[in-house]
A and B are shown apart, each in its own frame.
Chain A
Amino acid sequence: MIYPKLTLTVRDHDGNEVFTLSQSRGVAHRETAIASHEASVERWLTQGLLEWIGERGARVPRETPPSSPEFLPRLRDYLLSQFPSLSAVVTSSFEMVPELDGFVDGPLTIREPFGGTVNNDALEVRQERRVA
């Protein structure tokens, strides 16, 4: 089976990685996080993202659970609006999970730029070996 996978990578002003989250099959999880952001990342992954949207006087809360496909793109937009020195990029890929029990080579990840057009020549194909 092939599943879509999103990855959000956040870097600071100097280009150092702050944290990376990924989401596949409706589950978001932490790939990396520096110590100062561990609590924030944990809160996002358990509670989702809470924003206040709309004009003043008519604002409403918008909660995006970590299971939502909008979770990582909205977290990216939230961070960029609050902290303009950060860089935050969402990339999309496809994760291939073999259905056969005896198949040990997988999952297969094919990455492409999020929101962009698919360029087959630019696709990065990475195969990871799963320990049975």
Chain B
Amino acid sequence: MLVVLPLSDDVIDWLNEKLDDPIVFADDLDRTYAFDHEFNGSSELLSQEVEPVRRGHVRWRVGFTHPDGRELLELPMQRTVYPELGLCRGGRGPLVENDSFHLVPAFWRRGFGSSVYASEARLFRRWGVREIHLTAVELGRVVWLKGFDFLPVNGPGLELEYKAWLSKHPENPKLPFPPKDYPEPFLYSLESIMLFKALT
């Protein structure tokens, strides 16, 4: 089998050393990003790196191309795995930060992001990653909460912010309701929202 997105030896070594009993294969990124979707013509591993300083991290960037040759992303998609940080669900452990995922607008709302995240979640679980963290901006302020079951890192703070917003927009529903039910205008009123998703 031709491995198009091979993990380098130093990345594999780092994952095996730093994570708790991960199951790592050299073709993990191939398996993850070669999912079946009408837009997924090909994917390219643009970079991968190990940051050895302190606890360190592993970071990689991937690009996707439509079968007709168009780029699917405005920027390379970037992921970074950290071996030990404070978790939103308590304690410390490995987490991944989804630093960028910017689909070209022509490809929005057709399930491509869902396919990426479903496939990545399987990989991260196998590696023993406990949480996915991201800072949602632009369309992501709505998409990750409503479509991907992410939760706010500081839920009570977001509730207070909503109550303040509600005082100027009283026609909207009052709490309590789940985070995914926040009205879109409220979410768009925030510059960014720190979100997480627990994997275990």
* Interface, chain A (partner B; CB < 8 A): 12-13, 18, 36-37, 39-40, 43, 47-48, 50, 52, 56-57, 59, 61, 63, 79, 81-86
In Å, the complex CA distance between A63 and B91 comes to 14
- Contact partner of A52 (CB less than 8 A), chosen from B97, B158, B159, is B97
**SS class, residues of chain B in contact with chain A:** mixed
- Contact partner of B164 (CB less than 8 A), chosen from A13, A48, A79, A82, is A13
Please indicate the chain B residues that have their CB under 8 angstroms from the CB of A39 in the complex. Answer: 156
Residue total for B at the interface (Cβ-Cβ under 8 A): 31
| Cβ B164 vs Cβ A12 within 8 A | yes
The chain A residue with its CB closest to the CB of B158 is: A83
Please indicate the chain B residues that have their CB under 8 angstroms from the CB of A82 in the complex. Answer: 154, 157, 161, 190, 192-194
Q: How many A-B residue pairs have CB under 8 A?
A: 68
Decide yes or no: A56 and B85 within 8 Å by CB, A12-B160, A40-B154 being known contacts: no
**SS class, residues of chain A in contact with chain B:** mixed
Please indicate the chain A residues that have their CB under 8 angstroms from the CB of B75 in the complex. Answer: 56-57
| Cβ B99 vs Cβ A56 within 8 A | yes
Chain B stretch 71-107: residues in CB contact (< 8 A) with chain A: 75, 78, 82, 85-88, 90-92, 97, 99-100
In Å, the complex CA distance between A52 and B156 comes to 20
List of 8 A-B pairs having minimum Cβ-Cβ separation, nearest first? A85-B164, A13-B164, A47-B86, A36-B156, A83-B161, A50-B86, A83-B157, A12-B160
